[in-house]
Amino acid sequence: MNIGFIGIGRMALGMVRNLLTAGHTVQVYNRTRARAEELASDGAEVVEAIATACDNELVISMLADDRAIEDVVFGKVDFINALPADGVHVSMATISEKMGRRLRDSHSAAGRAYVSAPVFGRPDAAAAAKLFIVAAGTPRAIERCRGAFDAMGQKTFVLGEDAVAANVVKITGNFMLASVIETLGEAFALSRKYGIDSEDLLELLTSTLFTAPVYKGYGALIAKQQYEPAGFKLNLGLKDISLALEAASAKSVPMPIATAVRDQFLVGIERGYQDLDWAALGKVCADDAGL
């Protein structure tokens, strides 16, 4: 399959390499060309223009946030009409449900196929093709994406034809992840104040009550106070918890835990932790406990 890939961050590096390994032809575009050049030795073709990357049967965008989507898809380049009539655009970023609706409706109005397919997984999972992909769009469009999804992830969950559903599920999942990280941070702060070794507590908890990977992975980062290098930065965590609150407000859904966690992100950023891994919510908890 001929694929255009737009937006080359840490996640995208592994994703593109896995597409290439699976035998796909990939053109890559990034606003900062140097990042895209990292993939040239893997066999990707680095292109100078967004429109060039759009001229493929499948176009994947992996952009940081709504502002980046605004600049790329709704900016100076006529992105949507640059897609082939039979092409498919797949947005794999974590964006607001409002932007999700705009993407869905704009592609539909132009007669272009669109799939929303955000992912769960950190850069190491992307490199190992172990992402979980959450997809929504028409069955025909999703089927066109199957080969690419299989190359990048371990499982694809299909949520139906409304592309916005995938955005809401991704936002919901990240809210829950942030809540787990916050509770881990509070728990480790409490145990440390009583002289209990954090790694001993982690072993006990993740061998008994909380055996899920999220507790093991983020628990280990907090227990070891290992917040660099960041797999997912704290400031991006603030973005995602804010997206959850925005979506909740649109449907009059109270989310008191999300509000409390959002405030912890704000505290962390005020303390200069914005570029640390979002597991640094644990550092905020430790600070507040005087540790």
User: Where do the domains of the chain lie?
Assistant: 2-162, 168-288
Residue 116: what pLDDT?
98
Residue 31: what pLDDT?
92
DSSP 3-state percent helix, strand, coil across the chain (nearest 5): 55, 15, 30
CA-atom Rg of the chain in angstroms: 20
| 2-162 and 168-288, same CATH topology | no
> Which option is the CATH number for 2-162: 3.40.640.10, 3.40.50.10800, 3.40.50.1220, 3.40.50.720?
3.40.50.720
CA–CA dist 276, 185 (Å, integer): 15
CA–CA dist 106, 181 (Å, integer): 36
CB atoms within 10 A of CB 41: 7
Structure token pair of residue 226: 């290992």
The catalytic position among 76, 98, 130, 170 is: 170
170 a catalytic residue: yes
> Which option is the CATH number for 168-288: 1.10.150.120, 3.10.450.50, 1.10.1040.10, 2.40.50.100?
1.10.1040.10
Q: What is the pLDDT of residues 212-265, one digit of tens each?
A: 999 999 999 999 999 999 999 999 999 999 999 999 999 999 999 999 999 999
CA–CA dist 36, 206 (Å, integer): 39
Task: Fill in the amino acid letter for 132.
Answer: F
Residue 158: what pLDDT?
98
Residue 204: what pLDDT?
97
DSSP for residue 31: S
Q: Which residues of the chain have pLDDT under 50?
A: none
Q: Where does 91-233 have alpha helices with state H?
A: 97-110, 123-127, 139-152, 164-193, 198-207, 213-223
Count Cβ neighbours within 10 Å for each residue of 19-30 and write b for 16 or more, e otherwise.
bbeeebebbbbb
